[in-house]
Amino acid sequence: MLKEISLGFLLAFLVFLAIAGYDIIPLMVILAALAAMFYFVRSKGLLSGNFETTVASLSRPEVAFSDIGGQNAAINELREALDFIKSFDKIKEMGIRPLKGILLTGPPGTGKTLLAKAAANYTDSAFLAASGSEFIEMYAGVGAQRVRKLFQSAREAALKMKKNNAVIFIDEIEVLGGKRGSTSSHMEYDQTINQLLCEMDGMKVDDRVRLLVLAATNRADMLDTALTRPGRFDRQVKVHLPDKDGRLEILKLHTGNKPLAEDVCLDSVAKECFGFSGAHLESMANEAAILAMREGSKAISYCHFLEAVDKVMMGAKLDRKPSASELKRVAFHETGHAVIGEMVRPGSVSTVTITPRGDALGYIRQTDENDSYMYTKDYLEDRIAVTLAGAVAEELMLGHRSTGAANDFEHAVQAANTIIRSGMSELGVVSLEDIPKDLKHKVLTSIIREQENRVREYLEQSKDLLLQIVDVLLDKEKITGDYLRRVVRAKAA
């Protein structure tokens, strides 16, 4: 109402000046400039109280810990910390200081935001969420103002909802809380983190609204040490990629609303998805449903899940088609990988294909019976053998190698470096930075050459096997690991 009255008064005043014979054009130009400046400042959020945090509704988030799969360890650790908030009277009697902040660290897509929402639900708290990038501007003091506004909004939201607790969730906190001094050309970053530190220090046990700050990052190494010390972020909860059992649990959650065919074994699907995050698994289940719908199927079959795994890992199929000679080379290359993969780890090959996807003209997918997090020398040497097998197969069957093995060689060198760094080479325990480069190169070459000779010897005895598998690949473009093993067993008999 006040705006309309002021605007009407201003227009009347301008009309009066015009009638009186004054030149109002300069005045109108000045007013237009001021209005444009006001609009710009307001749109950038530089006016007091104009920073709008991303409030996940003014009700408790409808996400519970039971809705999150594959993160039992993180959930248990987080629930233990949250019990301090739920049992406030009891911990006050024991003289325990409630936690001020909990830092969730882990790879992208592992469910850190879901855990924060479930934490607010578990403690019956108001929930406010913001991203670290929302606090950084080119204008000095804006980030600090927005931090103050975030904490003020959390308290106001809790009071409005008649709650005693509020959870503030800051995603990508490494943008807001990076190490001070790392951006010497722009002090805005330091002012922003200083304000966050002050706000967290000002949180008290007997506040009318008790605040808990939850933050998420996949770059904990970038955070300022003053932020991660006890008394601010008191706990760090690791949110890892799920293991096989965790992947199975997540798949059950994401397929609960989908019609599955009788041939679908989610345990087998989980085995195919080593290294997938929760986001990958959700995307894979969604892609499988899309594939089934495109084919007109009423239920999602196991083949749809396998195709979806390939799509999530490698990308969609490409329209381009290699020439006949290139396709034959790719077939020998991938067959070499597959045959040696079965030699070193029987039953590990899941799929062999020469269908172009993403940046790959073909690939094989291997699975582990159990997820491995620690490797022996034999395991690493076997990995080197598998990566070299494609180039060796090309050389044996076609006379020379191609550039398609360049990425394989990089992986082989990485594995050889791991052998040296872990003290499993002939050098024993060494520092990679301190040993002479020529000595390191000599040992690397020795490790790789030994596996190359091993692969060549085996493939020279298996040329008929390579030819048989390549003929089928060129015809069908894709074979399963089961078919590969049947051919291998038949040749060995």
Fold topology of 324-492: Methane Monooxygenase Hydroxylase; Chain G, domain 1 (1.20.58)
| HSE, side-chain direction, 13 A CA sphere, residue 409 | 11
State the amino acid at position 49 in one-letter form.
Answer: G
Domain range annotation of the chain: 2-43, 54-238, 244-314, 324-492
In tens, the pLDDT along 407-451 reads: 899 999 999 999 999 999 888 888 878 888 899 999 999 999 999
Helix, strand, coil shares, percent, the chain, to 5:
55, 10, 30
Question: 7 pLDDT band (50/70/90 cuts)?
Answer: low
In the residue annotation, 156 being an active-site residue is answered as no
Question: Is the per-residue pLDDT at 338 higher than 90?
Answer: yes
Which of 136 and 460 is assigned the larger pLDDT? 460
Q: What count of other Cβ atoms lies within 10 Å of the Cβ of residue 141? A: 14
Which of 104 and 14 is assigned the larger pLDDT? 104
In tens, the pLDDT along 29-56 reads: 676 776 666 555 555 444 444 444 444 4
Q: Do domains 244-314 and 324-492 have the same CATH topology?
A: no
Instruction: Tell me the percentage of the chain whose pLDDT exceeds 70.
Output: 84
The CATH code of domain 54-238 reads 3.40.50.300
Residue 251 CA to residue 230 CA, distance in Å, equals 37
Q: For the chain, what is the mean pLDDT? A: 82
Residue 490 CA to residue 45 CA, distance in Å, equals 72
In tens, the pLDDT along 212-256 reads: 889 999 888 888 888 888 888 888 889 988 988 889 999 999 998
Choose, from 334, 381, 394, 452, the residue flagged as catalytic.
334
In tens, the pLDDT along 383-414 reads: 999 999 999 999 999 989 988 888 899 999 99
CATH code 1.10.1660.10 for 244-314: no
For residue 355, report the phi and psi dihedrals to the nearest 5 degrees.
-85, 125
